[in-house]
Structure 1
Amino acid sequence: MVSLLAMAATALTGCASGKASDDTAGQATATAGSGTTSGAKSTGKNSVYVIGGKPDDPFWSAIKRGGEDAAKLVKAGGGKVTFLGPQNYDNLGPDAAKLTLTAISQNPSAILVPDWVPENQDAAIKQAIAKGIQVFIYNSGGADAAERVGAMKYIGSDDYEAGKAGGIKFAEVGAKNILCVNTVPGSANQEARCKGVKDGATAKGSSSKQLPLPSSNFGNPSAVTQAIKGALLKDTSIDAVVTIGVGDADSAAAAIKQAGADSKVELGTFDLSQSQLDRIKAGSQLFAIDQQPYLQGFYAVSIANQYLSYGVLPPQNPLLTGPLLVTKDNVGAAIAGTRAGVR
């Protein structure tokens, strides 16, 4: 088991076409049983809506896997869990708000939603709460977001502290000029990650800057590779690159190689995949920061269901699922979980 970062002891996007109907573009539904959507108050059968990311995003597939496992308990009570997902990440805040309105229109017992872009999403989240729907913020936003909108709790990682840990780790191995590649600029959790990297590096005498790329580049390996390669060739003082997700990390690895910088540029990323773990094991990647997305999905669904059914609620807020730093020293313990689809 990888060790919990001491500093964390004390998180993408989303929406479909915005149509408030059951045929929302990009929507994926996992039914955990029969029952109405009128809420626990009138039927005792819980209807939980989970707003998440693209179905082909490996990070979100791990969250959904956790949510689906927890949904088995909802099914046992005669309820259901519905997952709403986007087609792309091009219009982050407004689309996420539309997905929330879609969920509200189904009169669920609870809505689980990341607060990616507060200025676009908070009004819709508050509308759900005003209708008596229980709302849990997960993955992005933190306890501050939950308090600001009046949600029950935040479940997820602390993105700023995760980034800070990465910045410190880079500095500890001698990196002086770190590039944080952000393919979802404006997203609260991604901005917090890059800010954390910068602050962690600065605290140890190093520096960091951000490379913001158009969100349309997310999921476009060729575009991301070329952008990172160009940055490395333009500024040869860059000696470390960190990416906000696993797909971008694969692109960064290719960019470092194409730029002929393998021997001098360290690589790190947020989140896990088999390719990240393979590179860490081989010594060609320094670290991956795991926020344990499976736990985010599992805890969010199960805690909402327990609260709706029995009125029980863990007192911790935030309820942290990470960060956990995976390095060559502990990578072996993380590989089996990734192969099982839960990390």
Structure 2
Amino acid sequence: MRRTIFTLAASSTLLLAACTSGSTSTENPDATAAAAAAAPAGGKASIFVIGGKSDDPFWSKVKRGVDDAAKVVEANGGKVTWLGPQNYDNLGPDAAKLILTAKSQGATAVIGADWVPDAQDAAFKSVTSSGIPVFLYNSGGADAAKAVGALTYTGSDELLAGKAGGEFFAQNGVKNVLCVNTLPGAANTEARCKGIAEGVAASGKSTQLPLPSSNFGNPTAVTQAIKAALLKDSAIDGVVTISTQDADSAAAAIEQAGGTGKVKLGTFDMDDTQLSRVKKGKQLFCIDQQPYMQGYLAVSQAFAYNAYGLLLPQSPLLTGPAIINASNVEAALAGAKAGVR
């Protein structure tokens, strides 16, 4: 499935993404110069993409987009190389090493997520200062791209995504939201929880439950931590997680804590399991950022710049957010079954 339909139940979701000044669609001042310049690579493209773990369900969708866009690069004699960490225990420093690895291996363009700016920005600047174009995706935003000298950002605005989720919770009567963060300190996950709090603030509140990053992908540990939080505070009537794996753990925790029917569940990102729960009325929503499109568009832009000096004037190029709920879940299910949503 190559085309994704955005059907929104929260009126703010893409309206915010389209209309918020300074954090959404703004002109890229480098685009005109890039379009007029000779192809920066001067030869065959060698594009390096820094992504997540190979067994992370979210990143497998991003890589699917990367792989599809790579077919065009390869047809023109170039190549695309994927680099990812073994785990998320030391995410920022590990990502910085991968960025420098890409530089040392002759990259003509580097695509990366700015998850932990304090740890990664020096590496990104090392790449850009050497004349290699950098394209941020997934995490960072337009401000981060400007800070490290990247040409553009492709992905979701995580703060806006969180706000949309918080507002949707509020519209459905939720007053006290627990935001479970298994990657605390990462810029994108912190922005998600901050956005949830801002979105629900008019009629309720949200607190963050930060868990060690070693718990990411550990369903037993995450389930027990969420269950303990729910038993400690009976006023919690909403739980939101930063990933689909954690959403599965949260669903189990809600049931074990006796919160079925009382505690509403939402998550960032989605898969067949989450969408099935939404369809059955057992989960309130998912927030889609179209990971396939992030990978596909980032590689396509890097190749177009390397090969022809082309650069779109819009930065950031937003791939979300979209609230997926009972009203539009069928279309999302089709994309999930195809492995791209």
| SS in structure 2 at match of 1:9 | helix
Aligned ranges for residues 48-87 of structure 1 at < 5 Å? Answer: 48-87=47-86
Report the counterpart of residue 275 of structure 2 in structure 1. 277
Partner deviation per Cα, 1:250-269 (whole Å, 9 max, x = no partner): 00000000111001000000
Q: Unaligned 5+ residue runs, structure 1?
A: 11-39
- 8 Å contact kept, 2:140–2:188: yes
Q: State the shift of 1:3 in Å.
A: 2.0
- 8 Å contact kept, 2:227–2:256: yes
Amino acid at match of 2:314: Q
Report the counterpart of residue 327 of structure 1 in structure 2. 325
Paired with 2:150 and 2:42, the residues of 1 have a C-alpha distance of 23
Amino acid at match of 1:84: L
| SS in structure 2 at match of 1:88 | coil
Partner deviation per Cα, 1:74-121 (whole Å, 9 max, x = no partner): 001100000001110000111111111111111210000000111110
Picking from 1, 6, 11, the partner of 1:2 is: 6
Report the counterpart of residue 92 of structure 1 in structure 2. 91
Report the counterpart of residue 291 of structure 1 in structure 2. 289
Amino acid at match of 2:268: F
Paired with 1:232 and 1:271, the residues of 2 have a C-alpha distance of 23
Q: State the shift of 1:42 in Å.
A: 6.5
- 8 Å contact kept, 1:138–1:155: yes
| SS in structure 2 at match of 1:112 | strand
Report the counterpart of residue 218 of structure 1 in structure 2. 216
Between the two proteins, what is the percent identity of the paired residues? 65
- 8 Å contact kept, 1:157–1:322: yes
Corresponding pairs, count: 313
Aligned ranges for residues 188-207 of structure 1 at < 5 Å? Answer: 188-202=187-201, 204-207=202-205
Superposition CA RMSD, Å: 1.0
Asked if 1:125 is matched to 2:124, the reply is: yes
Paired with 2:7 and 2:282, the residues of 1 have a C-alpha distance of 21
Picking from 261, 264, 270, the partner of 1:263 is: 261
Paired with 1:98 and 1:42, the residues of 2 have a C-alpha distance of 23
Q: State the shift of 1:43 in Å.
A: 5.5
Higher RCO structure, 1 or 2 (CA under 8 Å, sep 6+): 2
Amino acid at match of 1:264: K
| SS in structure 2 at match of 1:62 | helix
Amino acid at match of 1:251: S
Q: State the shift of 1:9 in Å.
A: 2.2
Partner deviation per Cα, 1:188-232 (whole Å, 9 max, x = no partner): 000000000000110x22100000000000000000000000000
Q: State the shift of 1:312 in Å.
A: 1.3
Q: State the shift of 1:2 in Å.
A: 3.2
Paired with 1:158 and 1:83, the residues of 2 have a C-alpha distance of 24
Q: Unaligned 5+ residue runs, structure 2?
A: 20-38
What is the TM-score with the length of structure 2 in the denominator? 0.90
Q: State the shift of 1:311 in Å.
A: 1.3
Picking from 297, 300, 303, the partner of 2:298 is: 300
| SS in structure 1 at match of 2:254 | helix
- 8 Å contact kept, 2:40–2:307: no
Paired with 2:91 and 2:230, the residues of 1 have a C-alpha distance of 28
- 8 Å contact kept, 2:41–2:108: no
